[in-house]
Amino acid sequence: MTNVHLEQLKRSLVIMKKDVLIYYLKGPVIIFGILIPLFLFLAFLSGSKNLPIDFLVAGLIGMTMLFTATSVSPVITPWESQMNTLERLMSCPISISTLILGDMLASVIFGTLISLVPVLIGFILGVSIFHPIILVLGIILASLCFSALGLLLATPPTNVPSNVMMVSSLVKFPLVFISGIFIPLENMPFWGKVIASFSPLTYFMDITRYSLQNSSYYHIILDFGVMIIFTIILYSLAVFLHKRTLQMRI
């Protein structure tokens, strides 16, 4: 890695620190990242007494990861634009990819830490983790993937956070219902499985249920591979689109 790349990485870490200190104690993180998946879990738990608890806890981990990793990353750029701090950032010697990477790393840290809450809930409810290393690697990869998704949702050139949150909700809630969280994939019709295959959350749910239920999933390597591909595509699209729209915010 060259000195130039090291300098850009240091600047990404500074942006990450700024995001954590300023944005990740705001209301949207609590509401969209923690409370909404928890309420969905409790509502589903009350009507799904025939499903095993490890299946339900795996779904809670998946929902928490998705909602937390995408709770703030879509609205950081509109907030920066609204407060006229985006122009100051753009005047600094940083590339757009460095700026996006810093926002992404902040979201990754927060999503990973908050995902420990449903894991702890699982312990309290007596759920065993048969493959802890697989689960940890899956959580880290999922936080990267969903953070990249959140940054992609932030690309519309608006300085109104509520507009971005509306678009974000229109994407996240369908992902929850098509990704095998509430209905096992094997119980879905063929067309449902086809739709689920286009959701990165589906593959994270495979990894999580393999870790908690010790299921004989033979395609765990495929799950990791597909999530890596999703992460690369989503991050690349986010950088490309931000390069086209960021100047429109200033």
pLDDT at 215: 66
Q: In this structure, how many other beta carbons lie within 10 angstroms of the beta carbon of residue 246?
A: 20
Q: Global pTM?
A: 0.86
Q: Assess contact for 86 and 161: CB atoms under 8 A.
A: no
Question: Helix 96-114 crosses helix 132-153 at what angle (to 10 degrees)?
Answer: 130
pLDDT tier at 170 (50, 70, 90 boundaries)? confident
Give the pair of three-digit tokens for residue 69.
Answer: 């990793």
CA distances, 56 to each of 134, 201, 244 (Å): 18, 15, 41
pLDDT tens sequence across 151-167: 998 888 877 777 788 88
Largest CA distance in the chain: 57
Mean pLDDT of 223-234: 95
Interval 13-46: pLDDT, tens: 888 888 777 776 666 566 666 677 777 777 766 6
Length of the chain: 250
Q: Residue 99: CB partners within 8 Å, gap ≥ 6?
A: 12, 15, 89, 242
The contacts found for 216-225 with CB under 8 angstroms, 24 or more apart, are 220/134, 223/138, 224/137, 224/138, 224/141
